[in-house]
Amino acid sequence: MRRRHALDEPLPDLTGRLAVVTGANSGLGLEVAGALAGAGAHVVMTARDARKGEDARRALLERSPRGTLAVRSLDLASLDSVHSFAGVLAAEGRPLDILVNNAGVMAVPERRETADGFELQLGTNHLGPFALTGLLLPALRAADAPRVVSTASFVAQRGRITRASLSDSSVNGSSVNGWAPYDPWAVYRMTKLANLVFARELQARSDAAGWGLTSVAAHPGFSTTSLAVNGPLQGRRLPGWTHSLSLLVGQSAADGARPQIFAATSPRAVGGGYYGPNGWRELRGGTVAALVPEGALEPEVGELVWSESERLTGVKYGASA
């Protein structure tokens, strides 16, 4: 199959724009934050570890971005942390132009819970960003052309969402997210599919309610980041041969961030759209419209994800708007 022409283009001038990038202390988030700041935006970089966030901020400053960078603590595995972060940002009274929901965990090998009792991947990858976006909705609506980017994954192609996989009774019971025993990759695929479904449903609801948002999803293909180290490897380094193979088959974090950057900034990014690499199986390459998984097209899946997410997080978008 012939490779499709990449859509990547120089970033527009973002001077005066406010952007929030979650998980910006490393990997894709670091690259996205640097790109937005380089185009003139004021970027709020979030990190669970403030020290690592400051180290990342200093690294980006060495690239001499035109914009400015600030670091804020945010743990998406804690709804208290999400509320606190959103409250501080809202109190500043500044319109939010770009929100990039990037932070996440991958295939944590043993079942773990968030501070709120959710399975860790569900809580961090989906419920935390869902709550954050809802709480920041007033700030987003105050901007002229607000953009929300949700980060999915090519593994979402094999994802499956059911009511049981989103239900707190499954998360806190003997069956975890519809899989017993716990299957970390199945849960990860489900949460990444949920990110895409959320992005599409957010656009549909914005259109219906007149929120004025452009909601876009993107995935980085197979990118070499710290996600595996913080997930299935649990802090252990990648073996040398594995790292070399990942660079051969996949791509760097800088290249992997291109679809997110396109989704966050390009006037050609379509609301409700999904973008990823244009190479073999969407593992690497320039940015193009990505293949939408069948699981994201199932009838009522958007309503299911939305209603269960509101119920579990207690964040109601109508009330927060």
Using CA of residue 158, residue 28, residue 255, residue 38, what is the dihedral sign? Answer: positive
Select which of 188, 274, 275, 317 is catalytic. Answer: 188
Q: At what angle do helices 128-135 and 79-91 cross, to 10 degrees?
A: 20
Cα–Cα distance for residue pair 71/195, rounded to 1 Å: 24
Pairing of strands 287-289, 68-73: unpaired
Question: Distance (Å, rounded) from C-alpha 64 to C-alpha 262?
Answer: 21
d(CA 236, CA 252): 19
68-73 and 98-101 strand pairing = unpaired
User: Could you tell me which residues are beta bridge partners of residue 148?
Assistant: 99, 215
CA distance 214 to 204: 10
**275 included as an active-site residue:** no
Nearest to 202, CA basis, from 156, 140, 159: 140
- What is the set of active-site residues? 188
